[in-house]
Amino acid sequence: MKQQESKFQDAVDWYISGFAAFEENLNGGSQLPFHKLRKKAVKKLSENGFPGPRDEEWKYTSVAPILGQAFGLPDAPATESSLEIAPLTFEDADRNLLVFVNGSFSKGLSRLTSQAEGVVVCTLSEALQNHADLVNASLGLFTDIGTGGFTALNTAFAAEGTFIHVPDNVELTDVIHIVHIAEPAKPFVVHPRNLFVFGDNTRASLIETFHGQGPGSYFTNLVSEFIVGDNARVDHLKIQQESTEAFHVSNVNVQQKRDSVFSAVNVDLGGALVRNDVNVELAAEHCETHLFGFYLGSGKQHIDNHTFVDHAMAHCFSNELYKGILDGQSKGVFNGKILVRQDAQKTNALQSNKTLLLTDDASINAKPQLEIFADDVKCTHGATIGQLDDEALFYLRARGISEEMAGAMLRHAFISDVLEGIKLDAVRQNLDAQIIERFTDVKSDS
């Protein structure tokens, strides 16, 4: 095989050269079984490097800006943070908080209520020590590091994150909110690694938010794994509000078992260069998946959402709706792939992607993709790209609403059906308010 021209050898070398020091700092962590997977990931990274523009899945997103900077791991945190956590939390969703500052768990800012018998909610580092069997049974099972790249990089350096284990027949009453805060005194990379295991007949709701505080460049390289048991119901809301100089790459992998329902809402508001991958495997019959997302791009933001819905078994339903509003010189990418395998008869898969372009400098590359190998299925996808409806705008203005407000109202209306996917009222209202503020604040330069 000829070597791929763009594996970003310098960046690969840079990260691998830091692995020995990382290993030493693990304080015995290198003796744990998980470390074998880290070493395998290092090998894959050195073999395959990072994806280049000729890689179909990265055709529209160049990772050169991320790899052009020599990000190191952040310094160990100074005792306790003086951060005010309250503004970052949501009413009705603040009883279980796990707060990570620059990748390290902040005990002082976090709070956890007592959980039902057998439920584990803790950091990954603690879980690797105290719940090794539970972790080792599942960690890395559904994340593909074979092609190298960012998932391999995360796996190699994964040391911290959140571990949740909910045993069969337990319904979590309270929402669990995981807060990631970045305060970049100097550029750094963090590799949060989450493992969420939900047993049969369980119910849980997770919120994960990412906040950038203050200026400065950093890189969040997240990998999350969800195992959703038989008849389990899991909601996941991810809100990305990194700072305008930040890079955010996330890889969320979900495996659903029989009769389970997984609902995700992915919101992108921040970040200079953002790439999200959500991969859902409907691995048994009668699964239901809801993937919602919206992204607001402005300035020179580049926001790339890739979703992959893998219908492996029959009688499943998936519904996907992603919407984007792109202002300024921002660039959006949407790639939605639906695979219906041969055994997945009676699949019903819907996908819709809609984008508003507000300026001539904004652009969108969309690739909704269907790959169907079963004949008794109903699959549709649609993609539209357009502008605010001039007639609606005129109508509102004719009723005395300012052009700016009318535009804000229409933009808000455009994403409202995605917002409806957020089931927690307080969270939705909070986000709603933020968005309206942003729409009335940011003027389009048209």
Partner 1 sequence: MSTEQETIEQFTNTEYKWGFTTDLETDLAPKGLTEDTVRFISAKKKEPEFLLEWRLKAFRHWQQMQEPDWPNVNYPPIDFQDAYYYAAPKKQEQLKSLDEVDPQIRETFDKLGISLDEQKRLSGVAVDAVMDSVSVATTFRDELKKHGIIFCSFSEAVHDHPDLVKKYLGSVVPYTDNFYSALNSAVFSDGSFCFIPKGVRCPMELSTYFRINAANTGQFERTLIVAEEGASVSYLEGCTAPMRDENQLHAAVVEIVAHKDARVKYSTVQNWYPGDENGKGGIYNFVTKRGICLGDNAKISWTQVETGSAITWKYPSVVLKGDNSVGEFYSVALTNNYQQADTGTKMVHLGKNTRSTIISKGISAGRSNNSYRGLVRVARNASGARNFSQCDSLLIGDRCGAHTFPYLEIHNKGARVEHEATTTKIGEDQIFYCNQRGIDTENAIGLIVNGYCKEVFRELPMEFAVEAQKLLEISLEGSVG
Selected binder of partner 1 within 367, 397, 428, 438 (CB under 8 A): 367
End-to-end CA distance of the chain: 49
DSSP string covering 367-395: EEEEEE--SS-EEEEEEEEE---HHHHHH
Q: How far apart are CA 421 and CA 424, in angstroms?
A: 9
> With binding defined as CB under 8 A, does residue 348 bind partner 1?
no
C-alpha to C-alpha distances, 381 to 318, 322, 350, 371, nearest whole angstrom: 11, 11, 6, 11
Selected binder of partner 1 within 249, 272, 364, 419 (CB under 8 A): 364
Nearer to partner 1, 84 or 360 (CB): 360
Q: How far apart are CA 108 and CA 9, in angstroms?
A: 40
Nearer to partner 1, 56 or 117 (CB): 56
Q: Is 125 helix (H, G, I), strand (E, B) or coil?
A: helix
Is residue 66 within 8 Å of 219, Cβ to Cβ? yes
From the CB of residue 142, how many other CB atoms can be counted at a distance below 10 Å? Answer: 19
Selected binder of partner 1 within 360, 391, 399, 441 (CB under 8 A): 360
Nearer to partner 1, 161 or 336 (CB): 336
C-alpha to C-alpha distances, 424 to 54, 175, 237, 291, 394, nearest whole angstrom: 41, 9, 10, 16, 34
> With binding defined as CB under 8 A, does residue 357 bind partner 1?
yes
> With binding defined as CB under 8 A, does residue 48 bind partner 1?
no
Stretch that binds partner 1, among 128-136, 183-191, 235-243, 367-375 (CB under 8 A): 367-375
CB 83 → partner 1: shortest distance, Å? 39
The size of the interface with partner 1 (CB under 8 A), counted in residues, is 37
| Touching partner 1, residues 139-178 (CB under 8 A) | none
Q: How far apart are CA 75 and CA 47, in angstroms?
A: 29
Stretch that binds partner 1, among 30-38, 61-69, 128-136, 373-381 (CB under 8 A): 373-381
Is residue 243 within 8 Å of 273, Cβ to Cβ? no
Nearer to partner 1, 120 or 374 (CB): 374
Between strands 273-282 and 162-166, the pairing is unpaired
Selected binder of partner 1 within 9, 130, 173, 446 (CB under 8 A): 446
CB 54 → partner 1: shortest distance, Å? 9
Stretch that binds partner 1, among 212-220, 241-249, 352-360, 401-409 (CB under 8 A): 352-360
Stretch that binds partner 1, among 124-132, 194-202, 245-253, 359-367 (CB under 8 A): 359-367
> With binding defined as CB under 8 A, does residue 382 bind partner 1?
yes
Tokens linked to 394: 């005129």
User: How many helices and strands, by DSSP H and E, does the chain display?
Assistant: 10, 20
E strand segments, 75-218: 96-101, 104-105, 120-123, 162-166, 176-182, 189-190, 193-198, 203-212
CB 401 → partner 1: shortest distance, Å? 22
CB 316 → partner 1: shortest distance, Å? 15
> With binding defined as CB under 8 A, does residue 201 bind partner 1?
no
> With binding defined as CB under 8 A, does residue 342 bind partner 1?
yes
| Touching partner 1, residues 54-113 (CB under 8 A) | 56, 60
Q: How far apart are CA 265 and CA 294, in angstroms?
A: 8
> With binding defined as CB under 8 A, does residue 389 bind partner 1?
no
Longest alpha-carbon distance in the chain: 70
Selected binder of partner 1 within 28, 87, 215, 386 (CB under 8 A): 386
> With binding defined as CB under 8 A, does residue 402 bind partner 1?
no
